[in-house]
Amino acid sequence: MKYLIALLLITNLTYSQEWSETKLNDFSSIKFPNKPEKTIQNTDIYYSASDDYGVYLVMIRNLGNRKISESELPEFYEGFMNGALKSVSGELIKQNDFKTNGINGNEMIYLANSNPQLPNLRHKRIFIANNNLISCEFWTNKDIEQLASINKEKFFNSISVSIKKGIETKKKETNSEYESGFLFGKIISFLLIIGLIIGGILLIRKLTRKKNKNVG
């Protein structure tokens, strides 16, 4: 009975979170459970936020002069996903195509084994809109997968995209997308590790101040 009450309280907390919409660029937006941190690496834009259930990540990459045709999308997506998996020594659980706002994309669920300090169960969706690659990820832990599923779905389902023009045709190299996925995984892991270190320092300082105050 106590377990059931605790479960209901946690579920209610999930529903009561005040999610807010974040404008990613001039044609897309998504909702986060709190205000995300925005960083820029080279020309890639990253948004990241977290709560008790997981980590929410978005990357936007302008493809520039590279144009991807519909027929090239599967190979393009496959290269990017393979790079992301390799960057975290990942174990693929499931991968399939999906559609959002009428746009064809690719998604996968995988376990990340490279860093035990970070959430290991990860859901990743990627798609191309207006010649921009958009990657959305939700990281959580396997033991709270069911509790976190509501937030995961709310995050992914909140993406809003308006199409300016169709995808044009031009050849590309799959290897570059493999490397892009690999780099993306490394950058995000690095940012999260830095966040964990800073959070730990702040917590230690807070506890130290409290202890000194009690002694005084």
Q: What is the pLDDT of residues 28-59, one digit of tens each?
A: 999 999 999 999 998 999 999 999 999 999 99
Lowest mean pLDDT segment, chosen from 62-66, 108-112, 156-160, 181-185: 181-185
How far is 198 from 177, CA to CA, in rounded Å? 32
| pLDDT number for residue 18 | 85
Q: 167-182 as b/e, with b when 16 or more CB fall inside 10 Å? A: beeeebebeebbbbbb
Task: Name, of 52-56, 111-115, 171-175, the range with top average pLDDT.
Answer: 52-56
Proportion of the chain above pLDDT 70, given as a percent: 68
In contact, 46 and 59? CB cutoff 8 Å: yes
Q: What residues have CB less than 8 Å from 90, skipping those under 6 apart?
A: 84, 110, 111, 112, 113, 114, 122
